Structure 1
Amino acid sequence: MKNILVTGTTGFIGSSIRSKLCTLGYQIVSTQRNANYANELEFDLKKPFNLVEQLKNIDVIIHSAAIVHVMDNKIPIDETYQKANYEATIELAQQAVEAGVKRFVFISSIKVNGETTTGRLPFSSSDLPSPKDAYSLSKAQAEKGLLDLAAKTGLEVVIIRPPLVYGPGVKANFANLVKLAMRSFPLPFGAINNKRSFVFIDNLTDFINIAVYHPAAANHIWLISDDDDLSTSQLFRLIIQYSNSKAFLFNIPQDFFVRLCRLLGKKNIAERLCGDLQVDIKHTKEVLGWTPPYTAQQAIKKTVLSFISKY
């Protein structure tokens, strides 16, 4: 039995982590900006905090809280990410050391490796960091700070870099893809044959359970995915199939699609839909003996059916 603090439990990933670990019998404490219950701690990435006393009964911290999108234009974007994702993370870890917490699991991002694997091998945990924006830079800095702290103090640090996470309740980009595929009109993605790695939320939370207790997980960076990369056309066909949508895909040359997006000022959309972003999880599987419990097909079906039930 372990006492585990999970941050970011108001978000999609954090709430799923909490639910998974509760079912496994762990004693879970959550964080909230305004804590109201006995099993909650008040914690806000944007405000000073001192949790040393409250952390003295905690064995493991799973830190999933992060600022992903900056909404406040009054503060520079770089400064917001720096303070919330880097400085607050290191401060929490330092307080964890003072309180005697044994392990700190940090949910980072594959964006620390870079934005694309088009024209190169899949990302691996041994790659040098190559963050391209303020968000991924803040995550990379937090990773380095945590590993430095581990080396100095003995705190066990586990760093996880997931690609795009999806599942029932997901919002943002993946939800938009599902909505698009469920509309009854033709979609011009039939000839897009890229490869992208994703991770189903239940596969991620299954791995996090390994990260909580496995002795070999400590002080390393781990890449995970569904271990079944999909092209944009394959992804849309699966969503159409499981939603019984009347939409269908037609072919236009991928190069033409990319050029058209760029002419329309949508370069980022072209990269997400047509570019490669593959993750090599061979090392994770071999060292930790972990394989994703759900296939990509099972995961997408579960996600789409959940989406349909709500909309």
Structure 2
Amino acid sequence: MAKVLVTGATGFLGRQLIPACQSRGYTVCSVQRQETAASDTIVMDIAEDSNWQPHLDNVDVIIHCAGRAHVMNESAVDPLVEYRKVNTAGTLQLAWQAAAAGVKRFIFISSIKVNGEATKPKQPFTTKVEQPPEDPYGLSKYEAEQGLRELAEQTGMEVVIIRPPLVYGPGVKANFASLIKLAAKGLPLPLGAIHNLRSLVFVGNLVDLIIHCVSNPKAANQTFLVSDDDDLSTTQLLKGLATAMGKPSRLLPVPASWLMGLTKIIGKPAIGERLCGNLQLDISHTKACLGWTPPYRVAEGLKLTVTNASQQK
């Protein structure tokens, strides 16, 4: 069986991905930033000067999950510079050394932000990128994708690019964790008349797709979008969370236009866009190319997510 190196081992995705790889019989080397006593763990930073050569012997596939994560309240003076150091230069440093070491396939976990921040009604994102993204995080991932494609052409190492939207699941944090807390309180919320559509992906579905891409020959040099294939409105998502927790859903039918207007007045238009805007992915290419369908339905994913959240209290 293949030897797989996984970066970002202690991250939200890595913690789910590594045992899934091991359960398939793969030999896994995990990369993280903190020291550990485990013999199969590599301690490395993702940087433009990192030396990966001592760790690449007999590695067949690299799954590159690590990166500088997107944050809402960025504190860096020049965010693009900081994102590029890790997400672009750090990624390409690893990839070039991997190619030189004879690694057969490099799977890059990118982001749907490469496509943009929102979609128009009935015009979901596809793998085609109309123009480079303006968001610094998205641009750093876009530039990494471009560099990886050039590398694949020059070296013959197979590159697989996966662009997920918001990933949720057991242990999720940030905005999704805040939604879970809101739904758990059962308080009246002015979010009962939002008719947008947003694609999400349960971490179990993303992990399953990544596992498919480790060995499927059809994945070579392809770009895949991934989702649960069941887009939800903000209203539907909150109702689904409440149902999963056995809580009442008290959502007041306040028009989305009012919410958008209010968030602009208070200087938080991005919040309004996330609550009321569309962000849809067309995963038909992923399903057709790989013969893949998401193994978990939305209701299952939400149940597993909130069950874990309640156990962590």
TM-score of the superposed pair, with normalisation by structure 2: 0.95
Pick the aligned partner of 1:225 from 224, 227, 232.
Answer: 227
Distance verdict in 2 for CA 1:128–1:99, change over 3 Å: same
Alignment-derived partner of residue 42 in structure 1: 43
Q: Which residue of 1 aligns with 2:2?
A: 2
Quick check: 1:121 aligned with 2:123?
Answer: yes
- Asked if 2 retains the 8 angstrom alpha-carbon contact of 1:112 and 1:129, the reply is no
Pairing of 1:10-49 with structure 2 (within 5 A): 10-36=10-36, 37-46=38-47, 48-49=49-50
Say if 1:53 and 1:99, in contact at 8 Å, map to a contact too: no
| Secondary structure in structure 2 of the residue aligned to 1:56 | coil
Output aligned runs, 1:134-173, within 5 Å: 134-173=136-175
Deviation per residue, 1:287-308 (Å, 9 max, x gap): 1100000111111111111111
Distance 1:241 1:73 in 2: 37
Tell me the alpha carbon deviations over residues 131-173 of structure 1, each in whole angstroms, 9 at most, x when there is no partner.
1211100000000000100000000000000010000111111
Q: Which moved more, 1:76-85 or 1:140-149?
A: 76-85
Residue number in structure 1 paired with 2:54: 53
Equivalents in 2 of 1:244, 1:72: separation in Å? 36
In structure 2, distance between residues paired with 1:73 and 1:168: 28
3-state SS of paired residue (1:159): strand
Q: Secondary structure at the match of 2:227?
A: coil
Q: Return the match for 1:85 from 87, 90, 113.
A: 87
Q: After superposition, where does 1:1-311 map in structure 2 within 5 Å?
A: 1-36=1-36, 37-46=38-47, 48-69=49-70, 76-119=78-121, 121-311=123-313
Task: Return the offset for 1:72.
Answer: 8.9
Residues paired across the two proteins, number:
311
Q: Is the alpha carbon distance of 1:300 and 1:271 closer, same or farther for their aligned partners in structure 2, counting shifts above 3 Å? A: same
Counterpart CA distance in 2 for 1:227 and 1:200 is: 10
Q: Distance in 1 between matches of 2:49 and 2:17?
A: 25
- SS of the residue corresponding to residue 107 of structure 2 reads strand
In structure 1, how many angstroms separate the alpha carbons of the residues matched to 2:224 and 2:93?
Answer: 22
Distance 1:93 1:282 in 2: 28
In the TM superposition, residue 55 of structure 1 has moved relative to its aligned partner by 0.1
Q: Provide the TM-score with structure 1 as the length reference.
A: 0.96
**1:15 shift after superposition:** 1.5
Shift of 1:69: 4.3
SS in structure 1 at match of 2:91: helix
2:75 and 2:251 map into 1 onto residues whose CA distance is 39
Paired with 1:30 and 1:79, the residues of 2 have a C-alpha distance of 27
Whichever residue aligns with residue 63 of structure 1, its letter is H
Percent identity of equivalent pairs: 48
Unpaired stretches in structure 1, ≥5 consecutive residues: none
Distance in 2 between residues matched to 1:236 and 1:129, nearest whole Å = 33
CA drift of 1:244 comes to 2.1
The worse-fitting range, judged by mean Cα deviation, of 223-232 and 238-247 is 238-247
Deviation at 1:38, TM superposition (A): 1.6
Alignment CA distance shift 1:119-1:228 (3 Å): closer
Instruction: Tell me the distance in 1 between the aligned counterparts of 2:255 and 2:42.
Output: 53
Contact 2:47–2:89, Cα closer than 8 Å, also in 1 = no
CA distance in 2, matches of 1:217, 1:145: 18
